[in-house]
Amino acid sequence: MKKETAKSWLWLVLDIVIVVAVVVVLKTFVIATHNVSGPSMAPNFMNNDYVLAWRHTSLKRGDVVILHAPDNALYIKRIIGLPGDTVTSKDDVMYINGKKYDQPYLKAYEEQWASDNNGLFTQNFSLKSLAATNHATKVPKDSYFVMGDNRPISKDSRLIGFVPRSKIEGKIIWRYWPLNKWSVY
């Protein structure tokens, strides 16, 4: 009886070690978690939302990502410009490579926020007009132009410049907290 109990405990410990090892490997190489802090992605992502991001995945326009900002903080932002793109905002219309880019995730809030921002939700800009992008005409290779959904207050590529792919922690795939806002992206 004693031998079987010891064997059972050994298997339990081994199972626990395997589960912990799998979790550590996943957390280190496959997934990233983040607690949203601040209002720059409001109302789509709010302060104290918890999200899960997939590392090492392809990125496309509109993806929401976790990135390492120049101030050593983790930011959550939306990809607007891909490598090689031109990006311009004129009278609250975003243009990518000269074509209007629809942003349905902003529609419900543009009018509300624009009243607090001299009538514009997104101040007019082009890449060439931004000192943070060194007045570039296009998004550089292996870099992205990112913006927060709360455009009037977001500290994004208009202020921090282009974000190299190496600084992107991952693409958000799931908001798991709060439970009433649980969403898969």
Cα 83 from Cα 4, distance rounded (Å): 61
- pLDDT tens track for 129-174: 999 998 999 999 999 999 999 888 899 999 999 999 999 999 999 9
Task: Please provide the DSSP assignment of 28-43 as one string.
Answer: IIIEEEEE--SSTTTT
| Active-site residue identified among 40, 89, 154, 157 | 40
H helix intervals, the chain: 2-25, 107-114, 157-160
Domains of the chain, each with CATH number or no CATH: 31-177 (2.10.109.10)
- 77 is known as an active-site residue: yes
What's the token pair of residue 145?
Answer: 């132009």
User: pTM score, two decimals?
Assistant: 0.84
- Helix (H) / strand (E) containing 87: strand 87-90
Spatial CB neighbours of 56, under 8 Å, sequence gap ≥ 6: 29, 30, 170
**Strand, helix or coil for residue 105:** helix
Given phi > 0 = left and psi -120 to 50 = alpha, else beta, which region is 96?
A: beta
Closest CA to 147 of 105, 182, 99: 105
| Active-site residue identified among 77, 89, 138, 171 | 77
- 40 is known as an active-site residue: yes
Torsion sign across C-alpha atoms 134, 100, 63, 60: negative
- pLDDT tens track for 84-131: 999 999 988 999 999 999 998 887 676 666 555 566 778 889 999 999
